[in-house]
Amino acid sequence: MQREVHRRHEAGTPPRVSDQSGADWIGVLVADICALDPDTDKAKIKALIKGWIDSGSLVKGEFEDQHRKKRPVVEVGEWAFE
């Protein structure tokens, strides 16, 4: 999860933390990686995201888009190592 969040941030398309309806919502990424449905498994996905944020694995941040508008996004917090 952290690698993909980092990769998207480096590409200039970090996943959004607050918008639960757009394709760039972090939950869509979580659903894809965890084989969940972003519509029917929304409560489970939100719980996973909250757990990762609470643990410091992911953190909330801001990203300035191409229109110089600040957007709430998810960034890598403390890296988890195997």
Q: What's the pLDDT tens digit per position in 43-77?
A: 999 999 999 999 998 899 898 888 998 888 888 88
**pTM here?**
0.81
| Residue 66 structure tokens | 């191409």
Give Cα 40 to chain centroid, integer Å.
18
Q: How far apart are CA 82 and CA 75, in angstroms?
A: 19
Would you call 47 helix, strand, or coil by DSSP? helix
Would you call 64 helix, strand, or coil by DSSP? strand
Band (pLDDT 50/70/90 cuts) for residue 35 is very high
| Predicted local confidence at residue 10, as pLDDT | 81
Q: How far apart are CA 33 and CA 70, in angstroms?
A: 27
Q: What is the mean pLDDT of the chain?
A: 86
Give yes or no for residue 78 having a pLDDT over 90.
Answer: no
| Predicted local confidence at residue 82, as pLDDT | 56
